[in-house]
Every structure is written in C-alpha cells, then in structure tokens.
Amino acid sequence: MALANWWIILIAVAVIVVAVVIGLLIGLRRNARHRALPSAQIARAERVRALPSFQHAVRRRTIALAGVLALGVIATVIGGVVAARPMSSETIQPVNTSRDIMLCLDVSGSMSEVDVEVLSVFEELLNGLEGERIGLTIFNSSPVQVFPLTDDYDFIRTHLASIRESFDYIEEIPEHWVGTLNGPGASLVGDGLASCVMRFDHVDDERSRSIILATDNEVNGDSIVSLQEAADYAASVGVRVFALNPVQGVNTAISEELITAAQTTGGEAYGLRDTTTVGDIVADIQEQDATQLRGQAQVVWTDTPNVWIALLLVAGLGFLVLLWRVRL
C-alpha cells in the first residue's frame, strides 16, 4: 500500500499529541482545584473502597476510559490514513486486437491535382475502420513518414487535414515537399512502396498488415527498386497492397503494371473514382483476422480506501458507544 498524501498522517499524529497534552493539563488543573477546596470527611471510606463491587466498578470505568482513549487514537490515525488516500498498484500489459494499415501517398507533380481527393478518400476510409492502427508515408523522389502506426483517430484526422491543406500552397514550402525531394527523379513508386513496407513494426509478430498505395505510377527517373520488386518484397513479409489509381482505365500499360503488383501481394487495384472503392478496400482488409498486439507494460495506481473506511466506521462507532456508556 502507498499513500498519495502521506504527510496527512503526521497531521493526525500531531492532533493526537495536542489532544493528550490538553487532556493532561485539564486533569491536573481540576485536581489542583479540588485539593484547594475543603473536603468532607467520610467515615469508614476505606471499607467502601475495599468492597469487591466498588473495586469492580472502578476497574470497569478505568477500562472504559482507556478504551475511549484507545479508540479515539485509533479512529484519528485511521481517519488520517483515509485522508492520505491509500493506493495500490497493478502492472498491466494492454492488448490491442487490430490490424495495421499504412497509407502510402504519391505527392509528385503528376498527382498534385488528385492528392486532395485521395486524402479525402483516406479520411472516408477511417469511418469504416475501428481500432485499426493507421500510419501515413508520403513519397516523391524520397519517402517521408508523416506519422507512425497509431489508433488515435483524432490525431490521424488532424494530420491528414494538415497534409491536405498543404496542397493549397499557402506556405512557401508546403508540408508535402518537406523531405520528399531529397534525390533525383520524381514519383519513384518502387522506392516509396518499399519504404512503406518497412514502416511496419513488431515484425516478429504475425499481424494483418495492409498498404493503401495511391499513385498514378508515372515514374520519372531511376528508382532503387522497381514497383514489382517492391511488391515481391511486400508479399514476402506478408503485406497486402491495395492500390488507388486516378488514371486506371486511361493509361492501360501503367495501370496493368500497378494491378499486377497489387495482386502479387494478394491485394487489388481500384480506380480512384470507382463508386465501390472505399467499401471494397475496407471489406478486403477486414477479411484478414485481427491479431493481438501487446503494448508496453504499465503500472496503474488506484485508490483503495474501502477497508480503511470500514475500519474507521467500526472504530468511530465503538468510540461513541463507550462515551455513552461512561457518561462522558
């Protein structure tokens, strides 16, 4: 047991000491006053004191007075403990049963006109998910993690809105430019996808992991890994890729490449403006079994005054009963 405000015990002890001192002073003063007053002589008083009934009455009253004092001290101490807030600790390890989803957004120039629409789709996806951990990585010539996997949906919505507002180009350096232009080329989809795959944590645990990749697959420059190589890597570590393609059906060659890459991982590719896009992605993700993820062990402190309150009630009631019995 621990006490949140242990110093209150010191106050309770001080109250007891002050009360005892005051009681002694009052008793000494009364005795001195009685000695100063003339007293009447009672014949044969020693015979009365020797009577067993008299001695029994004196012992009973002495014990009762001692009990009143003891219960008063005990009640005061217990009251101090209750006021000091007794607490107990418990070590818990939270378990989160969920799936992991990484949002992977191409912020290259060819996507700038549709990225706001894509981010709106991402926000709409949140409405169909519950408890899943979501992360966001953006890429152009280089990838940047905007936020790691988290189940704080208010936090996620705040950052999605912030990225979406950066496409208004109000600031001199928009947020989606920061860190995404650190290399030659543009829209390096293979590197972006590979980076998103590597953003998953707890790699030793078997979990449902998915990537929602939004890109037009219009690569400009040489990437470290190709889109298909990144898809093969995703498949090897159990990550499914769901692609959102704003030009699906327009440019058949690059659309087919994106579809093939997504299907390699067990995922699928969708046109950005398909009427069933959001529902299909959520349904596909939720087909995978949610698994438990153990969080970091935490020590939780809770107030545990119940036993002490019960003891205080017993001591207080006993104190009042004895006061009534000895007629104090």
Give the residue with greater pLDDT, 289 vs 322.
322
Q: Say if residue 213's pLDDT is above 80.
A: yes
Q: Could you tell me if 78 and 308 are in contact, meaning their C-beta atoms sit under 8 angstroms apart? A: yes
Largest CA distance in the chain: 129
DSSP 189-212: HHHHHHHHHTT---TTS---EEEE
- Stretch 195-209: mean pLDDT, rounded? 86
Q: Which of 93-97, 203-207, 286-290 has the lowest mean pLDDT?
A: 93-97
Buried b (16+ CB within 10 A) or exposed e, 177-212: beebbeeeebbbbbbbbbbbbbbbeeeeeebbbbbb
CATH number among 3.40.50.300, 3.60.20.10, 3.30.70.860, 3.40.50.410, domain 95-293 = 3.40.50.410
| 39: confidence class by pLDDT, cuts 50, 70, 90 | low
Closest among 171, 163, 162, 172 to 214, alpha carbons compared: 163
Q: How many helices (H) and strands (E) does the chain have?
A: 10, 11
Q: Say if residue 53's pLDDT is above 80.
A: no
Cα 48 to the center of its chain, rounded Å:
74
pLDDT for position 107: 92
Residue type for position 1: M
List, edge to edge, every strand of the sheet that includes 268-271: 143-150, 133-139, 100-106, 209-214, 239-245, 268-271
Cα 65 to the center of its chain, rounded Å:
53
Percent above pLDDT 70 for the chain: 82
Residue type for position 237: V
Q: Which of 13-17, 29-33, 243-247, 290-294 has the lowest mean pLDDT?
A: 290-294
Highest mean pLDDT among 1-5, 29-33, 47-51, 93-97: 1-5
Q: Could you tell me if 132 and 150 are in contact, meaning their C-beta atoms sit under 8 angstroms apart? A: no
CA distance 97 to 298: 18
- The DSSP bridge pattern shows strands 95-98 and 2-3 to be unpaired
Q: Say if residue 220's pLDDT is above 80.
A: yes
pLDDT for position 319: 79
Q: Around Cβ 36, how many Cβ atoms within 10 Å? A: 7
pLDDT for position 45: 63
Q: Around Cβ 83, how many Cβ atoms within 10 Å? A: 17
Structural domain spans, the chain: 2-34+55-91+303-325, 95-293
Q: What is the mean pLDDT of the chain?
A: 81
pLDDT for position 251: 65
| 14: confidence class by pLDDT, cuts 50, 70, 90 | confident
Q: What is the pLDDT of residues 124-161, one digit of tens each?
A: 888 877 778 899 999 999 999 999 999 888 999 999 99
The structure tokens listed for 26 are 């009052």
Q: What is the pLDDT of residues 224-282, one digit of tens each?
A: 999 999 999 999 999 999 988 887 766 678 889 999 999 999 988 888 766 556 667 77
Q: Could you tell me if 318 and 70 are in contact, meaning their C-beta atoms sit under 8 angstroms apart? A: no
Q: What is the DSSP letter of 170?
A: -
DSSP 47-109: HHHHSHHHHHHHHHHHHHHHHHHHHHHHHHHHHHHHHT-EEEEEEE--EEEE-EEEEEEE-SG
Q: What is the pLDDT of residues 56-96, one digit of tens each?
A: 777 777 777 787 788 888 888 888 888 888 888 777 655 55
Q: Say if residue 40's pLDDT is above 70.
A: no
Q: Around Cβ 118, how many Cβ atoms within 10 Å? A: 21
- Stretch 202-227: mean pLDDT, rounded? 87
pLDDT for position 327: 67
pLDDT for position 300: 78
- Stretch 107-123: mean pLDDT, rounded? 85
CA distance 10 to 18: 12
Which residues make Cβ contacts (< 8 Å) with residue 13, sequence separation at least 6?
77, 80
pLDDT for position 148: 93
